[in-house]
Each structure stands twice: as structure tokens, then as C-alpha cells.
Amino acid sequence: MKTELVERAFKYCFHPTSEQAVELLRVFGCVRKVYNLALEARTVAWFQRQERANHNTTPAMLTQWKRTEELAFLSEVSSVPLQQTLRHLQGAFSDFFEGRAEHPRFKSEKKTRRSAEYTRSAFPYRDGALTLAKTKDPLAIVWSRPLPQGAQPSTVTVSQDSAGRWFVSMLCEDASVKPLPTSDTAVGVDAGITSPVTLSTGEKVTNPRHERRDRACLARAQRALARKGKGSRNRDKARIEVAKIHARIADRRRDFLHQQTTRPVRENQTIVIEDLTVRNMLRNKTPARAVSDAARTDLRSMLEYNCTWYGRNLVTIDRWFPSTKLCPVCGTIREKPPLNIRAWTCECGTTHDRDINAARDIPAAGPAVTACGAGVRPQREPSRTGQPAAKQETLTAK
């Protein structure tokens, strides 16, 4: 039986020429304009005429917009990114109707991430040279790692972050990603603040505190930004300096999480975690900064797609399970200790480390969740796992 290959996104930095930068910035603006026009048209059609416009009608609207004098500039860029942004809008509405997301919002020039997606018909890729439609020269990509041998990108996404860095992401089939040999080992993962990852084996990973390491530098850059006049060039330069510090913190945090999530998935068949609501935890102003720096949502997302790729089981237990205050020796549940108390002694005389005890109690509740058929490898949106929607549904059903 032939196994389906996993599609992975390979992201690289590149340095565009001045002509390429101007063309890509124009594409970003047109993509944002088409998205907002389509969202407005669909919203007006529903609230004023009770008509449900879908993806079958928006391409015709795009053709009409290009023929008007006001929006004639849309014809100057490749039509593929414009068609793709209409598909993204349809996906946003599908998530909204199925209860997975809020109603789509209009894209902002300053706050929205700049990106454009090209399909295979809009770019040639030969011998490591990638050329986008409407651009003359190939992109100067910094190949930090090679693409899979013989891989041909199916889609290419070009983006620019707030720090001014340019990235290209190529979606390719990767034959090296395949299920690992099965085993009977299970591990519990507790996501904390002082230790972002604590395993039920007793291993605790010290929090590197990426944000705190650059907090003083970030504060100086933000004070310098506050002194600059609004609308001035100096303010734009100061804003980029702040964005560079934030980008450096995010890069370190992402690299750390990749290292901490790959090893447990490779060494264990079942990974058990808690279903934590990070949004509610951020309402408490005292630990909110530390909770954000721990990036628990990213940790869970990485565990999910790694388990999907390598044939592992991810079990999620209920968020109200008393993992921190349950004694695994005598089964006593005590009152939850304050956050500043990192160890506590049970009535039976056993002393427990707060994080290690929670990590050991989590896998004990995993078999009950698995028997009920809930919480096993929870389904996420396909874009986070690198799988098409049909493949993701098949893997989840298994």
C-alpha cells in the first residue's frame, strides 16, 4: 500500500532587488485591497439583500473590478495571488460558520502581515532558482537547508515581517517524514512558567526567558520610539528597531520550542498534555507576561503536527483535572497552592515538586480519555499541520 507523502513548508530568507521589492509591495497592496473588497461585497450582500455570496461569485467580481478605471491597477500584478486571497477569504468564512474562528476582519495596511501566495502556474522553479510572475530575475534566497531531493514546490508564499525581513515559504512533499516504529511508552508534558516543559520522567527544562533577556534593550528602543514625531522618517526607523528586537525574541523562542517538542515525540508513542486556555490565563496581569513568553499555544501546535507526521498519539486531558494538587501516592487532593510555592508536602508525608507532580499525574488520566474516545490527537486547521484538508481528516479518523 502506497503511503501518502507529507507536505511540509520550507521557509527561507531572501534579499530582493529594488525592482523586486517594489513589485512585491505592489502585490501585497493589491492582495489586501481585493480581500477587503470581497469581504465588503459578501457582507453587504448578506445584510442588505439576504444573499449568500460564495467563492463561485467572487472571481467574477474581481474581473469587474479590474475593468473599472478606479481599480485598473489590479491588472498590473499577477492574477494568481489575487485569486488565492479569495480562496483564503472563503476559508475564513468556512471556519466562521463551523465555529472555529470569529467573523473575518478587514486587513489593515499597518497591522496585517504582508504576504502573497503563488501557485505552480505563477512561478518556475528550476535548479534551485525561483522566479515569481511579473519579476525578471530569480530571488536571491539564503538556502539555510536544502529542499527534499527532487521536490517541486506546489505553492510559494512570499511575506515581509514588521522588521523588514523578506521570507519565502515553499510547500513541498517530503518523503523523509514517515511514521516512526511503534512503541508502548507514554509521557506526560506539563507546560509551566518556571519550566516551560516538564516531563513525567522527572526531567525539567529551565525557562530561558527569552523576553527577559532583551527586556532592557527593548525598553530603550520603545522609549526612543515614543520620542519620535508621528509620521516622520525617524519614527519609522525607530519602529523597525523595536520590531527587530521582537523578531529576535520570537526566533529564539521558536527554535527552543522546536527542540523541546521533537525529542518527546520521537521517543514516545503517546504524549499526554493538558487542554489549557491561554486566553483566560492572560487575564491575570501578574503572570501574563511570563505566560506569553512561554508560548504554550505554539508548544501544543508543534506537538500536534509532529504527532501527525510521525504516527504518534496526542492525548489531551480536561483542563479542570487537578494535576497540580493531586498526590499520586495516596490520591489526596489538596487546595491548589499559590504560584510562588513550587513544592508541597502531602498528608502522607510525600514531598512533591509542583511541576513534576503535575507531569506525572497527567499521563495517569490519559487512558481514561482515550477509552472515552475524546481528546486523542485533536483536529486543528490543516495549515498548521502542513496537510491538505482531506489528508488531515483521514489522519484524524485513524
Just list the catalytic residues.
Answer: 190, 274, 355
Distance, in Å, from the CA atom of 52 to the CA atom of 94, rounded to the nearest integer, reads 13
Distance, in Å, from the CA atom of 167 to the CA atom of 66, rounded to the nearest integer, reads 28
Distance, in Å, from the CA atom of 168 to the CA atom of 184, rounded to the nearest integer, reads 40
The separation between CA 181 and the C-alpha centre of its own chain, rounded to angstroms, equals 27
Residues present in the chain in total: 398
10, HSE (Cβ side, Cα atoms, 13 Å): 18
In 224-356, which ranges are E strands?
Answer: 270-274, 313-317, 343-345, 351-353
273 bridge partner residues: 316
Other residues' Cβ atoms within 10 Å of the Cβ of residue 237:
12
Determine phi and psi for 6, rounding to 5 degrees: -85, 135
Contacts of 8 (CB under 8 A, 6+ apart): 171, 172, 173, 174, 177, 386
Q: CA separation (Å) from 84 to 30, 155, 239, 259, 388?
A: 12, 10, 30, 33, 15
Determine phi and psi for 129, rounding to 5 degrees: -110, 120
Q: What amino acid occupies position 276? A: L
Other residues' Cβ atoms within 10 Å of the Cβ of residue 343:
12
Distance, in Å, from the CA atom of 45 to the CA atom of 50, rounded to the nearest integer, reads 6
Q: What amino acid occupies position 3? A: T
Question: What does the block give as the cell for 335?
Answer: 487546595
Which of 271, 273, 272, 274 shows the shortest CA–CA distance to 312? Answer: 271
Contacts of 72 (CB under 8 A, 6+ apart): 66
